[in-house]
Structure 1
Amino acid sequence: MPETPADPPGLDLARLRAHLDRELPGAVQGPLRADLIEGGRSNLTYVLTDGAARWVLRRPPLGHVLATAHDMGREHRVMTALRDTGMPVPRTLLLDPGADVIGAPWYLMEYVPGTAHRDAAALAAFGEQRVHALGRRLVDTLAALHRIDPAAVGLADFGRPDGYLERQLRRWSKQLAASHSRDLPELDRLHGLLAERLPVSPAPALVHGDYRLDNVLIDQVDGTDTITAVLDWEMSTLGDPLTDIGLLVMYTELAGVGGGIIPSAMAAPGFPSSGEIVSYYAELTGRQAGDLDWYVAFASFKLAAVAEGIHYRYQQGRTLGAGFERAGEMAPILARHGLTTLKEH
């Protein structure tokens, strides 16, 4: 008699299998197994297999979930809309917005081969020339996203660009308050300065919301390091495209700092500097980041709110995988980076 696969935390494989058999009849042929992909700090990602085929399932984290911060329907909708645009996204297969099957909303997508690079030492083995080309390809892909006409792909109502930055600042302040477990005066000061210096946004675009090297998959295609998939669309919307560049710059400047929340890969020798990232993006899009300091500081504030949410869940014992124990170190580091960025510019 075949062994019954064990349920990983956050999944009920028997209920999931029954649901898949109803919604995608014949897709699953053998016993369904699932493995949690380590490294994610927000939504949970599992690779499912029946021994022959593979799929990927995404669901919100366990326990304390911030309102609007883990929207499965949003991820599913934007990836489905971008399928035929040339943007590398996995093919979506199924969305379950309810909680009856696994206790939370979830969606299923195709498995795409590739590696999410998080470690500088591993990426450095590519050599500086390949690392540099890969960094520029990351900017190429972001510029291509920002050039897509949202209305042409059915996403004209995917967000409200007017007042976007003000709403974003308010939203992440509320998220921070929802995960409050300690006083962080430097973060409060950063929030105040950001509110005082709110810039005027350029023309809106589709915004990824968490664009960085380890949120894309890289694989060799015809001898070239190629982005095979852009992942983690949970914070995507219509808004200010410079927020994506500010975030990418912040991740580059702080690569490897503080407890693994910011991966080290973008510190690998050869990866483009923040200045090159900004100038190359401007060359591709015609958008000049005149208020880049504000966008980088805002990215620091936003990630601090995310880190505090992880820290809060870790204190409750509701995180899965390793590396969460140091998440609490990040908010003060990010607050200081944001304050320094505003001061220096």
Structure 2
Amino acid sequence: MIDIERLADWLDESGLPGKGEPIEHRHVSGGAQNEIYEIRRGDLHGALRIPPPTAPAARDQGILREWRIIEALNGTDVPHTEALAVCTDPGVLGRTFYVMGFVDGWSPMDPGGWPAPFDTDLSARAGLALRMTEGIALLSRVDWRAKGLGDLGRPDGFHERQVDRWSGYLARVKSRELPGFDVAAEWLRAHRPLDYVPGLMHGDYQFANVMFRHGAPARLAAIVDWEMGTVGDPKLDLAWMLRGWPEDTSEPEAADASYVDLTGMPSRAALIAHYAEVSGRQVDDMDYYDVLAQWKLAIVLEQGFQRAGDNPRLRAFGPMVLDLMRSAAELAGTTRYAG
């Protein structure tokens, strides 16, 4: 729980609305990395994001990283939570935290599946995927240098580092062979994108990390959860979003192709074309990003599987890793892309 009296004093000093008024708050969500509280005080309606007391000390720097990104997005056309204030003094609540505007919307991770009208109106549901695609297309156009994010990542040599970085990551957790790993890794070493235009990227872009406005038509309310945000290659966000996306979403398997029901969504090709139109980037080399995204995700999930113990959710990653790595190797072996 947060210390409301200390928070009130800090809010007063920060010049946010509602000075001197009582604070209403509720715990919205939380885990090992971050907790979120809804805050109401006079005209202030915000969300406070803070690491739990047990989180590693490095999470304070992660919170500052997130803050820098959402603050940089203020004034842009990227749907995001408004950056309101940040606190780096551990004497206030014990950890670094920030307050952002509260988003009046819904998450695809809310229980019960798609809300009305997206549960039955497939034409309306298609708009969800289009708006989500536009979110990262607009993000890729942000002038990250002008926004003071020149030191956020290491854009130079981004692709040259990927195989060594993630191979080393896997070596630290590896306890079994992953068929296809070497094939995909060597293909990635031998190939590069047709062009590489550094840009701001989310790093874990998927339905789980966006919120939509209530009702139709579909409107993206905010991109959220910026823990993996960096300056790199934005097209990797698109490939990450489209992992396992079926080309024909009218087929029955579209309902089970992802953790959400993709029935009625635009095809993979249509979303790639839409991204190209909005972002202004060429997409002829998407096979490269598809291989990288599937190979990288397999490694990330392997870490979870290796520490699963009796956790059924993490143990389920085991066969998923094998499928992803096999798919990455197969795509590397059949792609016509020759970059």
What band does the TM-score fall into relative to the shorter chain?
0.7 to 0.9
How big is the shift at 1:235? 1.8
| Deviations 1:241-283, CA, capped at 9 Å, x for gaps | 221221122153599x9xx9x9522x42221221111122223
d(CA) in 2 for partners of 1:66 and 1:196? 38
Find 1:342's aligned residue among 324, 332, 337: 332
d(CA) in 2 for partners of 1:63 and 1:175? 24
> What does 1:1-345 correspond to in 2, within 5 Å?
7=1, 13-14=2-3, 17-25=4-12, 26=19, 29-30=22-23, 32-36=25-29, 43-49=33-39, 55-59=46-50, 71-96=62-87, 105-118=96-109, 121-122=113-114, 125-178=119-172, 180=173, 182-186=175-179, 188-189=181-182, 190-220=184-214, 223-250=216-243, 252-253=245-246, 263-265=258-260, 267-311=261-305, 314-315=308-309, 323-324=313-314, 326-345=316-335
d(CA) in 2 for partners of 1:18 and 1:62? 18
Q: 3-state DSSP class of the match of 1:277?
A: helix
TM-score w.r.t. length of structure 2: 0.77
| Aligned residue identity for 2:214 | Q
Pair 326,22 (structure 1): closer, same or farther in 2 beyond 3 Å? farther
d(CA) in 2 for partners of 1:297 and 1:62? 38
How big is the shift at 1:82? 0.6
The structure with higher relative contact order (CA 8 Å, sep 6+) is: 1
Q: 3-state DSSP class of the match of 2:152?
A: coil
How big is the shift at 1:105? 4.7
Aligned 8 A contact 2:105 2:213 in 1: yes
How big is the shift at 1:85? 0.9
TM-score w.r.t. length of structure 1: 0.76
| Aligned residue identity for 2:62 | D
| Aligned residue identity for 2:267 | S
Higher alpha-carbon Rg: 2
Aligned 8 A contact 2:53 2:94 in 1: no
| Deviations 1:150-200, CA, capped at 9 Å, x for gaps | 23322233333221112233333344344x152233263233432233435
Equivalences, count: 318
| Aligned residue identity for 1:46 | I
Aligned 8 A contact 2:106 2:214 in 1: no
Q: Identity rate of aligned residues, in percent? A: 28
Pair 113,27 (structure 1): closer, same or farther in 2 beyond 3 Å? farther
Pair 280,62 (structure 1): closer, same or farther in 2 beyond 3 Å? farther
* Structure 2 counterpart of 1:10: none
How big is the shift at 1:19? 4.3
Q: 3-state DSSP class of the match of 1:279?
A: helix
How big is the shift at 1:239? 2.0
Q: 3-state DSSP class of the match of 2:146?
A: helix
Pair 286,86 (structure 1): closer, same or farther in 2 beyond 3 Å? closer
Q: 3-state DSSP class of the match of 2:218?
A: strand
Unpaired runs of 5+ residues, structure 1, are 1-6, 8-12
| Aligned residue identity for 2:223 | V
d(CA) in 2 for partners of 1:67 and 1:169? 25
How big is the shift at 1:228? 0.8
Q: CA RMSD in A?
A: 3.8
d(CA) in 2 for partners of 1:156 and 1:91? 21
Aligned 8 A contact 2:50 2:96 in 1: yes
Unpaired runs of 5+ residues, structure 2, are 13-18
